Structure 1
């Protein structure tokens, strides 16, 4: 979602009744409840005033922002509506709650791309899916994305099959997808449903036109024009068809009528230019092209961005006018909105090639080649560009030919090694570079690359040995000494590394990499203050040194000060927006603190600056997922799969991302590429086993796990996966044995918890609990171990022991989740002190829906339903799919006297097949509410709930 400056938000909230004193959440809640009532009675103006009052009292009241956005929409104010709804999401409202009203605001403002990017249909609430599909279809249609719009409308049509407008839209969009039969069927249905609708006849004409039935098309267009003489699209289509049929005189009549009815219509002017050229009137043709350009050029960029077809038309017009700069600008802008349009890419590339800008040609055509790999014009343009650049051979294949032609030039063979590395063929690159280095040890580039490859492959000792040989040959080269230090540090020889770093600085005291690496070595040795002082000294000499800033950010993050880390990273970003490492860390930190909009904006910026960088794409995909934009995430991951080629490590990482996004087929494809490059690559084999488990292929997963164990018996991953496969087939004793073997090789609390679960499932309850108690005793300073033990106690019904264990874990440090779990246990024990603990958790993390729900429910159980509503409403907005939160809110609403709203919430809570601890209580509440009349007494006798803490 877009961010809005505080001033704009303040202006939107201006005009509310001023109140004195500090913010009062209770007063804000009362204003909100009054606004809700006014909105339901269609007193929109009054509702807006009360909502502004509520937000003056409590600027973080989530439900107020949501209702304010809906009220502005109802009033016909889409801009203010967007501001309020966006703020709601930024503060933590689940995107699905406000997707439809936000999409309505974007559509009303012409922000079609924003609608499609941010209003993801798979994140819509079920009841809103149809409406959102129609909104998305409208946006796709406005942007000319026929395929996506058709797919969207198919879903809408299934739910409303007798809608003529949907049939018309589906017909037009089916044409763009090339499905002539579907287009004709939809158009015929539209005519059947609405025979007096000119748009239906236009749709029939368009279907016939594209299908090659000129006579039927002309008849249908004429029928549409007969019903509505000023029907622009029908006139334009008939004129274009008549031009195609070489019936220029008849076309001229339509174009003449268009000049009278729509004198500024650029499509009409362009067709007039074509007509004039046909008639040999070059001056008139140029004049019409000028008119077309004159209409388009003054349009503000933000408006053209909403009508990309005008950008394409402008590019065509300026190309015809031999104005390449203007044509390039408009075609480039068009491609930013519609990057998959191969025709526009070809036109732009031809202009760039004529100017000799071959680098830009290759950039433009790289995507075009993927879109149309067999297009002869694209291939011809690519060949011309490479010839002009003197690069007659591409990528690895071309370098291999060059090496053979030169008789094995070391320089070319080294370049081939680098090319193999870039292509992800690590083993081949290693072999190539070793051959080069053996042949000529003076090839320093090959030596550097070899040392780096050794370290990447987990062979730091080999890297250190190689760097040592290089240092003997070049004892006065500080870069070689620094390489030796890095390799020694990677091999665990900190003393040797420090000596090599100091030797580097003795040769050149200003050699920055060594100074930075010494600071990192200080950190590795547990001396963060010394490291910080070293980095600060660098900044005194070089105030804009982003590397030192990055290391200081890392120190702040490790020290539990993420906001100070973000400050450093923001400084780096301001200095160098292409600093991917800093940008990536900044995205990660923003995601951790729930700032998905900021994270996504940063990730998009990085991707724009480095469109083919795997790390940038990974960030874009993860940020898109966090923002609820799964389609965009999958597109990013798919691009990564293509770019990574056969790099086993990269493809394994991509597969993991695909699995995170739920794209199991994409993950399987990436793993197939990884294993085809390195058949014994354990991370890929392990992830493939996990993928098979996700797919329910237990036998295949078990087979893979056993194969890993057989080849790598000292690696815990195979044993752990064997345990997971056994768990999936309910062989719990076998699973416990595998987890025990994994734990012996890799002491890890997560594996310990799985061993506990396997033992418990095997019926060994006492043994399972005893094991977890022993694990926690042997890891007394590990909060994760204590948390696992507490969960074990809860699983076995020992709430008192769970409480004591959570309290023990909290002695190691305040943690919101631990506090929340403790509050939950205390609620189970009917301890009124749960509210105080829940409040502490909420102060630490007010954006967590579960924590807000716990606090709201604790307040409710104390008889404070009005106070509970604020937290439960917010939790509901943050986690709309959670049935337990819906039940808690329904209970609080019922007690507060808002039975109609309570009835809606309890129906949501019980929809589908919910499963939560208080399901029986929820069903009883539903029965009570169903028996009561609508709009009941607003001050009812307080109802009773199990474990009501107000009685304590």
Structure 2
């Protein structure tokens, strides 16, 4: 496949347990197995679930392939409240041949019970269900959407179910629960009443009515409805728990004790029941029993249901304070929560609970706790500062900034809060305002080190490293014994290109503190920048000898291995980091990227999902999930992830712009337009959003609009390269090549970038200035001799102008800087053009690095074909065709290999696909000749085609 141009801008344990319970017999005994199964079916119908499971395992011991036994075993585990083993059994049923639709509903139930909401939504679509089960499956999907916080999708799914069955009580129950979750008490009560009307003997309908009344504060109605549900189904767990909790709230302990006694018999391990028993025992003065029950509860449940929290006013507050001091946050949270139920107006308790939740990253809960605290004490700087921290953690920097401004004013201009305000402005993308704020703080009090650090970093980000170095130098004079300041000075000097001065500052840092890790790490990075990877690796390894779990050193070693063409060793390092810190997003992201490159899309997607599960509201984790889903062919899931990001980012201009770029990558131009609209409504002059909007207009074919946007950017920001570059792109789109070249030249003068240089080359070439274009690229590569992108661009320039030998030499020069799959692929392609049989070995190296790339697989397949190895080629060409079904050149290559292998009927189909529409690829003429030959040959012919039909055959005979 032709070389690619550079991008423009851009339940194992459960399975073992189950297997252990079902040992493979020496020979199947179907009659005995059938008898066990029939007995199990009878027991299941009589609700003897434990007995049914034993008999089903006996049946499978006799006949391990008894499909009905696996299905019933899954359902039995579900009824027993064991969703994990249920999933294992049902999955085994499908693997052995049960039609997936048969077990889709119980499988979905198992996923829902285990909290595998995304797996349910990804794998259990309504169109896969048997017709009679679609409503039930839609209800399960709605529950998954609701658990993930997507109330809109849940409501839409329930409406779809209602269209299939307008008189379904379970749908009304689900709609009531959804409305209750959203705080719409009237809608919840209305749907619950409808459910009772449709199915007056359904205990779940009565439970829904009780829940709506309970939340609405109508205790009498709630108790009546819960009692009705229990009367219809004495083992209705939720109704009995809710009634017991409500009775405790009403101080009717004797009646609550009756429910709790029943629960101990029916659900002895139910954590909510255990906790209620602890509350009851505490009220009865039985401290030992209460503690035992609390310990038992902790084994099974993390969050304590709000409606059943105990009430011990001052003791709870003191306990919360004590546990907070003892660093026992879970106990502190439970007690503070209980206290705040009794004393919701206690602002101090709210601040303490919020600080615990914030340390745990539970920003949604922080906001819930502080919402009332702000009303109680609107000018409390601590409350306002906590709110700002929560919004910062959620990526909503605009609201964070507003709260910090209020906190600073309320505190009388606290330097610490003033500095935090500068940080928030910086995070919100308001760089100029952040710079002004931090400079004001630093001038007012040069002892504000945080402000100084932030200013230096901001200067470096703005391309002013010399200014950063000057500031860091002043700080170093003020604090000569502070290693952190010396390290900052070194970083600034390195950014300014003063590597000698940077090394001296790093060494000065280590003279003050030889164990100062940032300086040791940065010295390693400096070694790398100076082209000494071995020295860098030795430095990082020495860190690991002293600190075996230092993930930063591991990450740098992974980067060295990756740059050296050893992706598997890089993955080993990243896996070690992941095992130590599963929330390390940087390592997780790099690991996902590498797994995608080597074709392990399932592993990559599992990692991305894990990170999202650990950090569900983290924009970076969601972006990673979306990209991994897209690579795995799950575009719908990717779009959903990007949509979640749009909601979470609110009106953060920088975040919304990044989301729009991801949406464009996924082909969701409408979603990208919406995200950009939100970005620009927050900051109308935000250049990155304006630039991406111009890119979007170009994608939509709206050249005039794109050009207008580009000119507006140039007019307002003439020293910013992006406007000039976009003007060049708009001119290219309308074939005004000379105009485009002028714009790209202006952009390049402001921002020396190989991608812009390549576009200038392309514009000059299109304008007919071939020699000038090639000369320019040669000069660019000479001035960037260690830039693989520059060498790749020059090689592409040679290739486009027909100089394949020079292209080959340039690709080989680029590969001396580090092995790269795309560079190897491009080299193999050029060698094919030069009819060099060594192309196959180069293509194989590229494929080993990235087997998931269709173009690389195509190049390897075509190289094998050109060597006369058509049968070997088919594996790679078929795979490439499946990965890139819209690529006509790959279709032609597959057709040619099929024809040579004597499979002419299939070859005809492939060549017709290759020539459908208006294809444009290098070997189009050869493809048309092959099509003519195949049309002349009889169907299913077995004559071996002549080798001379294919140009440049590399086979040797």
Q: Which TM class, normalised by the smaller chain length?
A: 0.5 to 0.7
- CA drift at 1:725: 1.0
- CA drift at 1:844: 5.7
Distance of aligned partners of 1:948 and 1:140 in 2 relative to their CA distance in 1, 3 Å threshold: farther
Q: Deviations over 1:465-512 (max 9, x none)?
A: 333333333332222232233223323333333333333333323222
Q: 3-state SS of the aligned residue for 2:823?
A: helix
- CA drift at 1:460: 2.6
Greater shift, 929-938 or 47-56, is seen at 47-56
- CA drift at 1:574: 1.7
Greater shift, 862-871 or 272-281, is seen at 272-281
- CA drift at 1:798: 7.4
Q: 3-state SS of the aligned residue for 1:611?
A: coil
Q: Deviations over 1:690-722 (max 9, x none)?
A: 233223232232234344445665655443322
- CA drift at 1:379: 16
Checking the alignment, whether the CA contact within 8 Å between 1:424 and 1:644 is kept in structure 2 is no
Separation in 1, partners of 2:173, 2:839: 59
Greater shift, 903-912 or 700-709, is seen at 903-912
Checking the alignment, whether the CA contact within 8 Å between 1:296 and 1:314 is kept in structure 2 is no
Checking the alignment, whether the CA contact within 8 Å between 1:90 and 1:597 is kept in structure 2 is no
Separation in 1, partners of 2:775, 2:33: 50
Distance of aligned partners of 1:638 and 1:904 in 2 relative to their CA distance in 1, 3 Å threshold: same
Q: 3-state SS of the aligned residue for 1:951?
A: coil
- CA drift at 1:165: 17
Checking the alignment, whether the CA contact within 8 Å between 1:118 and 1:629 is kept in structure 2 is no
Distance of aligned partners of 1:556 and 1:507 in 2 relative to their CA distance in 1, 3 Å threshold: same
Greater shift, 391-400 or 430-439, is seen at 391-400
Checking the alignment, whether the CA contact within 8 Å between 1:293 and 1:317 is kept in structure 2 is no
Q: Deviations over 1:51-88 (max 9, x none)?
A: 99999999999999999999999999999999999999
Structure 1, unaligned runs of 5 or more: none
Greater shift, 543-552 or 159-168, is seen at 159-168
Greater shift, 832-841 or 474-483, is seen at 832-841
Greater shift, 691-700 or 122-131, is seen at 122-131
Checking the alignment, whether the CA contact within 8 Å between 2:11 and 2:88 is kept in structure 1 is no
Checking the alignment, whether the CA contact within 8 Å between 1:63 and 1:877 is kept in structure 2 is no
Greater shift, 507-516 or 268-277, is seen at 268-277
Separation in 1, partners of 2:941, 2:312: 51
- CA drift at 1:142: 13
Separation in 2, partners of 1:838, 1:38: 62
Distance of aligned partners of 1:13 and 1:40 in 2 relative to their CA distance in 1, 3 Å threshold: same
- CA drift at 1:167: 18
- CA drift at 1:171: 17
Task: Determine whether 1:74 maps to 2:79.
Answer: yes
Separation in 1, partners of 2:231, 2:42: 50
Q: 3-state SS of the aligned residue for 2:948?
A: coil
Q: RMSD value over aligned CA atoms?
A: 11.9
Distance of aligned partners of 1:925 and 1:573 in 2 relative to their CA distance in 1, 3 Å threshold: same
Greater shift, 19-28 or 624-633, is seen at 19-28
Checking the alignment, whether the CA contact within 8 Å between 2:565 and 2:820 is kept in structure 1 is no
- CA drift at 1:429: 3.1
Distance of aligned partners of 1:847 and 1:605 in 2 relative to their CA distance in 1, 3 Å threshold: closer
Q: 3-state SS of the aligned residue for 1:754?
A: helix
Separation in 2, partners of 1:487, 1:184: 63
Distance of aligned partners of 1:599 and 1:475 in 2 relative to their CA distance in 1, 3 Å threshold: same
Q: Deviations over 1:289-329 (max 9, x none)?
A: 99999999999999999999999999999999999999999
Q: 3-state SS of the aligned residue for 1:128?
A: helix
- Equivalent residue number for residue 696 of structure 2: 691
Separation in 1, partners of 2:205, 2:322: 31
Q: 3-state SS of the aligned residue for 2:719?
A: coil
Distance of aligned partners of 1:878 and 1:517 in 2 relative to their CA distance in 1, 3 Å threshold: same
Separation in 1, partners of 2:916, 2:609: 37
Checking the alignment, whether the CA contact within 8 Å between 1:66 and 1:85 is kept in structure 2 is yes
Separation in 2, partners of 1:810, 1:644: 41
Distance of aligned partners of 1:383 and 1:220 in 2 relative to their CA distance in 1, 3 Å threshold: same
Q: 3-state SS of the aligned residue for 1:847?
A: coil
Checking the alignment, whether the CA contact within 8 Å between 1:289 and 1:317 is kept in structure 2 is no
- Equivalent residue number for residue 317 of structure 1: 322
**TM-score normalized by the length of structure 2:** 0.60
Q: 3-state SS of the aligned residue for 1:380?
A: helix
- CA drift at 1:202: 21
Q: 3-state SS of the aligned residue for 1:949?
A: coil
Checking the alignment, whether the CA contact within 8 Å between 1:794 and 1:802 is kept in structure 2 is yes
Checking the alignment, whether the CA contact within 8 Å between 1:315 and 1:330 is kept in structure 2 is yes
Q: 3-state SS of the aligned residue for 1:14?
A: helix
Separation in 1, partners of 2:32, 2:896: 21
- Equivalent residue number for residue 266 of structure 1: 271
Distance of aligned partners of 1:827 and 1:438 in 2 relative to their CA distance in 1, 3 Å threshold: closer
- Equivalent residue number for residue 142 of structure 1: 147
Greater shift, 312-321 or 597-606, is seen at 312-321
Greater shift, 217-226 or 911-920, is seen at 217-226
Checking the alignment, whether the CA contact within 8 Å between 1:110 and 1:306 is kept in structure 2 is no
Separation in 2, partners of 1:503, 1:320: 39
Separation in 2, partners of 1:66, 1:859: 47
Q: 3-state SS of the aligned residue for 1:39?
A: helix
**Larger RCO: 1 or 2 (CA < 8 Å, sep 6+):** 1
- Equivalent residue number for residue 202 of structure 1: 207
Distance of aligned partners of 1:139 and 1:885 in 2 relative to their CA distance in 1, 3 Å threshold: farther
Checking the alignment, whether the CA contact within 8 Å between 2:601 and 2:631 is kept in structure 1 is yes
Q: Deviations over 1:523-566 (max 9, x none)?
A: 33333333333322222222222222222223323333222222
Checking the alignment, whether the CA contact within 8 Å between 2:567 and 2:849 is kept in structure 1 is no
Distance of aligned partners of 1:189 and 1:912 in 2 relative to their CA distance in 1, 3 Å threshold: farther
Q: 1:409 aligns with which of 397, 410, 414?
A: 414
Distance of aligned partners of 1:946 and 1:99 in 2 relative to their CA distance in 1, 3 Å threshold: farther
Checking the alignment, whether the CA contact within 8 Å between 2:422 and 2:435 is kept in structure 1 is yes
Task: Determine whether 1:215 maps to 2:232.
Answer: no
- CA drift at 1:734: 1.9
Task: Determine whether 1:630 maps to 2:635.
Answer: yes
Q: 3-state SS of the aligned residue for 2:640?
A: helix
Checking the alignment, whether the CA contact within 8 Å between 1:35 and 1:48 is kept in structure 2 is yes
- CA drift at 1:728: 0.6
- CA drift at 1:575: 1.8
Aligned residues, how many? 952
Structure 2, unaligned runs of 5 or more: 1-5
Checking the alignment, whether the CA contact within 8 Å between 1:899 and 1:935 is kept in structure 2 is yes
Distance of aligned partners of 1:739 and 1:903 in 2 relative to their CA distance in 1, 3 Å threshold: same
- Equivalent residue number for residue 833 of structure 2: 828
Greater shift, 73-82 or 850-859, is seen at 73-82
Greater shift, 146-155 or 732-741, is seen at 146-155
Greater shift, 441-450 or 335-344, is seen at 335-344
